[in-house]
């Protein structure tokens, strides 16, 4: 199987859409916005899209984000932009795309859709610092308050139908799993997806709102406070999706972190404590989705270089262990405040 996969990757390297995104195309795209690129170009750490810091002859560098062809519709990208601008208008520290002379924020050049952003520096927040967590909770609540004031029409809704089932089907239909592991992986994943569906079904009248969607520490930069970046995965979902990825460590540590987050959160938006039962189901969903995401992107030459451990027999064996452990976590009592 490894030889087959290596051959597939090497054959597709020369035909991947991003092969056409040369430095010249990037610089010309930025110039088309009405600025003059200096020729300074720095590729940033992004795999789903291609993101560059582009120096200008005059002024601060810009961040140019080239959307992965075929992933989102233009309507979905524009909803992401509109949400970012709405948050910014409410003085929430989100890095929103720049607008052109006619108010447009999504541009096209040489067949690529792209957006430009101001450069914002910073470092990751200290999640061991409860003051940082409380601050993050306040801003997440403000994001959700704006999110609750409208609806997405073109963005996905968090759940098995969009994030779980397609990922598992892709893995199985494209023979990513070694034959001796495929049956057990499928069985464990199916059990997990059923549990995720059941967890959502057990929460009648669950509020689903516009959320950041990928609220891990890598999407928060800290400089005298937090600012949020990369709303590429904004979606409709429960509030807890933007909080649970900020929790880590042993159970007692996560409880203390959660206390701090919600102390800040509830200053601005009410949190439904029932959503705490979704933390482990959402973790399970993300595990399956992440494996499927890597598989879908495996023909992109950036992925085998960045994730060389993926798609090895050892990787899938470790995944089986992780899925078994996650099923046990699904049976454990959910986190509760102060417990």
Task: List active site positions.
Answer: 214, 230
185-207 b/e (C-beta count within 10 Å ≥ 16 → b): beebbeebbebbbebbeeeeebe
Q: What span, in angstroms and rounded, lies between the C-alpha atoms of 134 and 136?
A: 5
Strands, E, within 87-161: which ranges? Answer: 107-109, 112-118
* Beta-sheet pairing, 209-211 with 235-237: antiparallel
Place of tokens 């447009």: 104
Strands, E, within the chain: which ranges? Answer: 37-43, 50-56, 62-66, 107-109, 112-118, 209-211, 220-222, 226-228, 235-237
Place of tokens 């991947």: 16
Length of the chain: 339
Using an 8 Å Cβ cutoff, are 327 and 188 in contact?
yes
């Amino acid at each position: 199987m490894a030889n087959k996969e290596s051959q597939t990757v090497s054959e597709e390297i020369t035909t991947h859409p991003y092969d056409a995104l040369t430095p010249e195309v990037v610089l010309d795209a930025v110039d088309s916005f009405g600025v003059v690129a200096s020729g300074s170009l720095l590729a940033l750490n992004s795999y789903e899209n291609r993101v560059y810091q582009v120096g200008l002859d005059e002024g601060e560098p810009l961040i140019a984000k080239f959307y992965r062809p075929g992933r989102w519709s233009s309507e979905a990208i524009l909803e992401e932009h509109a949400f970012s601008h709405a948050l910014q208008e409410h003085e929430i520290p989100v890095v929103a795309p720049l607008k052109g002379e006619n108010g447009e924020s999504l541009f096209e050049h040489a067949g690529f859709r792209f957006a430009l952003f101001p450069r914002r520096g910073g470092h990751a927040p200290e999640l061991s610092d409860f003051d940082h967590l409380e601050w993050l909770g306040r801003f997440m609540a403000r994001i959700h308050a704006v999110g609750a004031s409208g609806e997405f029409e073109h963005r996905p809704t968090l759940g098995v139908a969009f994030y779980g089932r397609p990922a598992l089907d892709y893995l199985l239909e494209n023979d990513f799993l070694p034959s001796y592991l495929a049956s057990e992986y499928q069985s464990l994943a199916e059990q997990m997806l059923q549990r995720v569906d059941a967890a959502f079904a057990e929460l009648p009248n669950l509020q689903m709102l516009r959320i950041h969607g990928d609220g891990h520490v890598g999407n928060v930069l800290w400089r005298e406070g937090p600012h949020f970046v990369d709303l590429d995965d904004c979606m409709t979902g429960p509030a807890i999706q933007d909080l649970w990825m900020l929790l880590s460590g042993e159970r007692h540590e996560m409880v203390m972190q959660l206390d701090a987050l919600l102390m800040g959160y509830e200053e601005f938006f009410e949190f439904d404590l029932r959503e705490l039962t979704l933390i482990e189901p959402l973790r399970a969903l993300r595990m399956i989705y992440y494996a499927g995401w890597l598989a879908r992107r495996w023909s992109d030459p950036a992925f085998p270089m960045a994730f060389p451990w993926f798609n090895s027999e050892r990787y899938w064996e470790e995944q089986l262990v992780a899925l078994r452990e996650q099923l046990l976590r699904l049976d454990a009592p959910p986190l509760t405040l102060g417990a």
